[in-house]
Chains A and B, each alone.
Chain A
Amino acid sequence: MEVLQKLEILADAAKYDVSCSSSGSNRKNTKGGIGNAHRSGICHSWSEDGRCISLLKILFTNECIYNCAYCVNRSSNDVPRASFTPEEVAELTINFYKRNYIEGLFLSAAVVKSPDYTMELLLRTAKLLRHHHQFNGYIHMKAIPGADPKLIYQAGQLVDRMSVNIELPSSNGLKLLAPQKKKESIIKPMGFIANQIIQKVEERKLYKNAGKFVPGGQSTQLIVGATADHDLSILRLTEGLYNQFGLKRVYYSAYVPVSQDERLPTLAAPPLLREHRLYQADWLLRFYGFTSKELLQEHQPNFDTTLDPKCDWALRNMQLFPVEINKAPYEMLLRIPGIGVKSAKRIAAARRFHSLSYDNLKKMGVVLKRAKHFITCGGKYYGEVGFKENLIRQALVLQEPKGKTSGIEEGQQLSMFTH
Chain B
Amino acid sequence: MIHYIYDGSFEGLLTAIYEAYYRKEKPEKIIAKADLQESFLVTYIHIATEEEKADKVYSAIREKISSRALKNVFYLFLSEDMEAATYIYNYIKLGFSIGGKIDQYHTHDIVQHVHKISHKVGKEAHRLLGLVRFQKLQGDIYYAFIEPDHNVTALLAPHFSKRMASENWIIHDGRRNIAALYNKTCWIIKEGDLQGELLLDEEELAYQEMWQSYFKSIAIKNRKNPKLQRSYMPKRYWRHLIELKNKT
Given contacts A53-B215, A99-B136, contact A4 B224 (CB under 8 A): no
Do A47 and B215 touch across chains, with their CB atoms under 8 A apart? Answer: yes
Tell me the complex Cα distance, A49–B133, Å.
21
Number of interface residues of A (CB under 8 A): 56
Note all chain A residues with C-beta closer than 8 A to B207: 95-96, 99
Do B210 and A92 touch across chains, with their CB atoms under 8 A apart? Answer: yes
Do B131 and A44 touch across chains, with their CB atoms under 8 A apart? Answer: yes
Closest to B129 in A: A42
Do A50 and B229 touch across chains, with their CB atoms under 8 A apart? Answer: yes
Do B220 and A100 touch across chains, with their CB atoms under 8 A apart? Answer: no
Q: Does A101 sit at the interface, judged by CB under 8 A?
A: yes
The residue that B134 contacts in the complex, of A4, A38, A100, A137, with Cβ under 8 A, is A100
Note all chain B residues with C-beta closer than 8 A to A92: 210
Do A353 and B104 touch across chains, with their CB atoms under 8 A apart? Answer: yes
Note all chain B residues with C-beta closer than 8 A to A178: none
Note all chain B residues with C-beta closer than 8 A to A360: 107
Q: Does B192 sit at the interface, judged by CB under 8 A?
A: no
Do B135 and A8 touch across chains, with their CB atoms under 8 A apart? Answer: no
Given contacts A33-B166, A36-B163, contact A47 B219 (CB under 8 A): yes
Do B106 and A349 touch across chains, with their CB atoms under 8 A apart? Answer: yes
Given contacts A52-B232, A100-B144, A272-B223, contact A353 B107 (CB under 8 A): yes
Do B218 and A7 touch across chains, with their CB atoms under 8 A apart? Answer: no
Tell me the complex Cα distance, A356–B107, Å.
8
Do A45 and B233 touch across chains, with their CB atoms under 8 A apart? Answer: yes
Q: Does B130 sit at the interface, judged by CB under 8 A?
A: yes
Mark out the residues of chain B between 157 and 200 whose CB falls within 8 Å of any chain A CB in the assembled complex: 159-160, 162-167
Given contacts A92-B210, A96-B207, A96-B211, contact A45 B243 (CB under 8 A): yes
Mark out the residues of chain A between 1 and 57 whose CB falls within 8 Å of any chain B CB in the assembled complex: 3-4, 7-8, 11-12, 14-16, 28-29, 32-36, 38, 42-54, 56-57
Note all chain A residues with C-beta closer than 8 A to B134: 98-100
Do A44 and B130 touch across chains, with their CB atoms under 8 A apart? Answer: yes
Closest to A354 in B: B107
Closest to A359 in B: B107
Q: Does B37 sit at the interface, judged by CB under 8 A?
A: no
Q: Does B246 sit at the interface, judged by CB under 8 A?
A: no
Tell me the complex Cα distance, A137–B242, Å.
21
A184 to chain B, nearest CB (A): 31
Do B131 and A16 touch across chains, with their CB atoms under 8 A apart? Answer: no
Do B218 and A270 touch across chains, with their CB atoms under 8 A apart? Answer: no
Tell me the complex Cα distance, A48–B104, Å.
39
Given contacts A48-B219, A57-B218, A256-B220, contact A4 B210 (CB under 8 A): yes
The residue that A45 contacts in the complex, of B159, B164, B215, with Cβ under 8 A, is B215
Note all chain A residues with C-beta closer than 8 A to B213: 4, 7-8, 11
Tell me the complex Cα distance, A32–B166, Å.
6
B128 to chain A, nearest CB (A): 10
Q: Does A150 sit at the interface, judged by CB under 8 A?
A: no
Do A48 and B226 touch across chains, with their CB atoms under 8 A apart? Answer: yes
Q: Does A352 sit at the interface, judged by CB under 8 A?
A: yes
Note all chain A residues with C-beta closer than 8 A to B131: 44-45
Do A43 and B232 touch across chains, with their CB atoms under 8 A apart? Answer: yes
Q: Does A368 sit at the interface, judged by CB under 8 A?
A: no
Do B223 and A364 touch across chains, with their CB atoms under 8 A apart? Answer: no
Q: Does A350 sit at the interface, judged by CB under 8 A?
A: yes
Note all chain A residues with C-beta closer than 8 A to B243: 45, 101
The residue among B106, B112, B144, B225 with the most chain A CB atoms within 10 A of its own CB is: B106
Do B129 and A38 touch across chains, with their CB atoms under 8 A apart? Answer: yes
The residue that A12 contacts in the complex, of B217, B222, B223, B228, with Cβ under 8 A, is B217
Note all chain B residues with C-beta closer than 8 A to A96: 207, 210-211
Q: Does B209 sit at the interface, judged by CB under 8 A?
A: yes
Q: Does A286 sit at the interface, judged by CB under 8 A?
A: no
Closest to B106 in A: A350
Note all chain A residues with C-beta closer than 8 A to B144: 100
Closest to B204 in A: A99
The residue that A98 contacts in the complex, of B105, B107, B136, with Cβ under 8 A, is B136
Given contacts A8-B217, A45-B233, A256-B220, contact A34 B104 (CB under 8 A): no
A241 to chain B, nearest CB (A): 24
The residue among B105, B130, B223, B229 with the most chain A CB atoms within 10 A of its own CB is: B130
The residue among A47, A57, A270 with the most chain B CB atoms within 10 A of its own CB is: A47
Do B241 and A45 touch across chains, with their CB atoms under 8 A apart? Answer: yes
Tell me the complex Cα distance, A103–B130, Å.
8
Q: Does A363 sit at the interface, judged by CB under 8 A?
A: yes
The residue that A11 contacts in the complex, of B109, B214, B241, with Cβ under 8 A, is B214
Note all chain B residues with C-beta closer than 8 A to A101: 133, 211, 242-243
The residue that A99 contacts in the complex, of B129, B133, B166, B225, with Cβ under 8 A, is B133
Question: What 1/0 flags go to B107-119 for Cβ under 8 Å of A?
Answer: 1010010000000
Nearest 4 pairs of A and B residues by beta carbon: A50-B228, A349-B104, A50-B225, A47-B219
**Interface residues in chain A, defined as those with a beta carbon under 8 Å from any beta carbon in chain B:** 3-4, 7-8, 11-12, 14-16, 28-29, 32-36, 38, 42-54, 56-57, 92, 95-96, 98-101, 103, 137, 254, 256, 269-270, 272, 346, 349-350, 352-354, 356, 360, 363-364
Question: 12 A-B Cβ contacts within 8 A?
Answer: A29-B163, A34-B163, A38-B159, A45-B233, A52-B232, A96-B207, A99-B135, A100-B144, A101-B133, A256-B220, A269-B222, A363-B109
